[in-house]
Amino acid sequence: MIEVRVFLNGEPVQAPAGQSVGAFLLTAGHRATRTTRFGGKPRGMFCGIGICFDCLVTIDGATNQRACVTRIVEGMKIKTQDGSGEFE
């Protein structure tokens, strides 16, 4: 797989192009991708196929994107989320 540069919580890192953001985050040690809106509890990938909306992250400024069905592309800005996250 071709490695590209992406930004994970602002830090430049290498990631395999075309891999799912969810798989990349797991490999990078982020079992949780966000905290919940009310309880502030950690949440990570659950269904892995785009059904459950648990593995939410902020991608290029857009909040609540499903990590499991989003593919890594060059320059992508990935942010783990607190609650609903902040739209940029």
Alpha-carbon distance values, 10 to 22, 33, 41, 49 (Å): 17, 15, 23, 26
Contacts of residue 81, defined as CB under 8 A and 6 or more positions apart, other chains included, come to 33, 34, 35, 56, 57, 58, 63, 64
For residues 5 and 51, which CB has a smaller minimum distance to another protein in the complex? 51
- Identify the residue among 8, 15, 67, 68 touching another protein (CB under 8 A): 68
- Identify the residue among 6, 8, 15, 20 touching another protein (CB under 8 A): 20
- Identify the residue among 6, 43, 78, 81 touching another protein (CB under 8 A): 43
Residues at the interface with another protein (CB under 8 A):
18-20, 22-23, 26-27, 31-32, 36-39, 41-54, 56, 62, 64, 68-69, 71
